[in-house]
Amino acid sequence: MLFFQKNALLNNLCDKWKNMWRASMNDKEKLVKLSLMQQSIPFFASYCYEGRGLTKDYIISTFGYYINGYTIRDADSVNGYTYGLYAGYNYDNDIMLDKDVIHVMWCDNLRIIIPQTKSPVIYISNNSQVNIVCEGYNHPHIYLFDKSKVVFEDVDTESSAIVFRYSKESIVNLGKFCLSNNIKSFDKQLKL
C-alpha cells in the first residue's frame, strides 16, 4: 500500500486528492471510499491491472470487510449516492444492484441484476466478466477496462445502456434475451 501511495502521489495528482490520500492512510474504509471516487477508479483499476503490488489476494485479505456487498456513502460528495467495490466476488448468488456506483475487479461470470428504474454507473476491470440483466426502464453507464467483458444477458426494449471501452481488448456482447437495440458502445482513450 505504501508503494501505491508513493506512485499515486508522484503522478502529478491534484493537491486535493493527495491530501485526501494522506488523511485516509490509517482508515481502511476511507481508503476504499477514496478508491471508489469516480475520478480515482480508472487510476486504481489500471494500477492493479499492471500488477504493481495491489493484487486480488491483497485487496481481499486487507479490505475484505469493506468489499463484496459493503455500502460506502457519498464517495464523490454527492449526498445520498451509494458505492461498492466487488473484488474476486465468487459467490453463487447474483447481485441485485442497490448501489449507484460500483467497481467490479477480478470477477468471473458475475451476474448483476439492475432493478426496474435503477440507472447505475458500473466500472469493470482486471479481466472481469459481468453479465447484466436490466429489469426495465434502466439506463446504466458501463466503463470497461483492460481485457474485461460485459454481456447484456437480458435487456428489455424500455432499457438502454452506454458502454465506454477504455481498451481495444475489452468486449461487449449482447445475449440472446437482449431485446434492446439501445446498447451503444464507444471507444475512449484512457487518460491518467
Q: Which amino acid is at 22?
A: R
| Nearby residues of 183 by Cβ (< 8 Å), 6 or more positions away | 152, 155, 160, 161, 163, 172, 174
| Nearby residues of 181 by Cβ (< 8 Å), 6 or more positions away | none
Is the model's pTM score more than 0.95?
no
Quote the Cα angle for 164-169-171, to 5°. Answer: 60
Among the residue ranges 41-55, 84-98, 123-137, the one predicted with the least confidence is: 41-55
The DSSP call for residue 93 is S
Q: What is the mean pLDDT of residues 37-66?
A: 89
What SS3 class is residue 130?
strand
Helix axis angle, 15-24 to 2-10, nearest 10°:
170
- How confident is the model at residue 23, as a pLDDT? 74
Q: Band the pLDDT of 171: cuts 50, 70, 90.
A: very high
